[in-house]
Each structure stands twice: as C-alpha cells, then as structure tokens.
C-alpha cells in the first residue's frame, strides 16, 4: 500500500477544479491531469479514468460543455453558466472550506502525533488564519 492509497483528495475537489480550469480556457483531460500534477509538485495526479468520468458527469449535468479542436480533433471543455454558478458558490465559502480541511489535518495529526507534523500543521493553520 502506498500513501496515495491511504488518503484521497477531498470529495468534489476534482470536479470544482475542472470547472475552474475550464472557466479560464478550453481544456482537455490530459491538460487537466498535467496541471494538477504540476500544481501539486507531482504529489497527486488523478487517474485518466477519474478525470474522464467526471468530465462526462459535468457535461451531462450541463456544468461544462465539450468542443472539438479542428487541428487535432482533441475534445476540450469549457465551463457553462451553470458551472460558473457552482464555482462562484465554492469561492464564496472558500474560508469555510479551508477551515474544514484544516480540521481534517488535525484528525490526521491526532493519529500521527509527532513534533515535525505538529510544527507543519501549526504553520499551515497560522497562514490560514492570516488570510481571514
């Protein structure tokens, strides 16, 4: 078992990230994967199955729509007004979401209980509180 099998990304994070990314410019599934990998310093790269499943779900729910690029026939996605509404709601509650994630980190620390993890967590929470 590796670390990625022990803990996964928060539920819904990949969906809202895809909506956000597709709100800036048309994106393909591979671009989404590469961007996440880059942002997370290659700590997390969602599987193609996860990405394409969510893309299909977001198209079905009309939160994104697909377009085809004429040059390579690559399917790309853009955010719809319905998706922008979800993104706006997510951003409205950003502090609450971050505080909830910090609480989950506290639970993890409770199981680990070492000084290095405590210091890291305290620094993270301190930075979070400064942004309030």
Query: What's the token pair of residue 94?
Result: 């950003």
Domain ranges of the chain: 1-92, 93-132
CATH architecture group of domain 1-92: Orthogonal Bundle (1.10)
Phi, psi (rounded to 5 degrees) for 5: -85, -20
Which residues of the chain have a pLDDT value below 70? 1-8, 71, 128-132
Contact, 57 vs 50, CB < 8 A?
A: no
Q: How many CB atoms lie within 10 A of CB 46?
A: 21
CB 23 within 8 A of CB 83: yes
């Amino acid at each position: 078992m590796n670390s990625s099998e022990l803990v996964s990304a928060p539920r819904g994070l990949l969906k809202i990230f895809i909506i956000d990314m597709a709100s800036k410019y048309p994106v393909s599934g591979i671009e989404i994967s590469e961007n996440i990998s880059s942002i997370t310093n290659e700590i997390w790269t969602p599987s193609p199955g996860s990405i394409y499943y969510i893309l299909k779900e977001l198209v079905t729910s009309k939160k994104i729509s697909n377009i085809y690029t004429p040059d390579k026939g690559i399917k790309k996605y853009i955010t719809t007004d319905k998706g922008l509404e979800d993104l706006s709601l997510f951003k409205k509650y950003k502090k609450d979401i971050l505080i909830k994630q910090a609480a989950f980190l506290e639970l993890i620390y409770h199981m680990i209980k070492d000084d290095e993890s405590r210091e890291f967590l305290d620094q993270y929470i301190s930075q979070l509180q400064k942004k309030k």
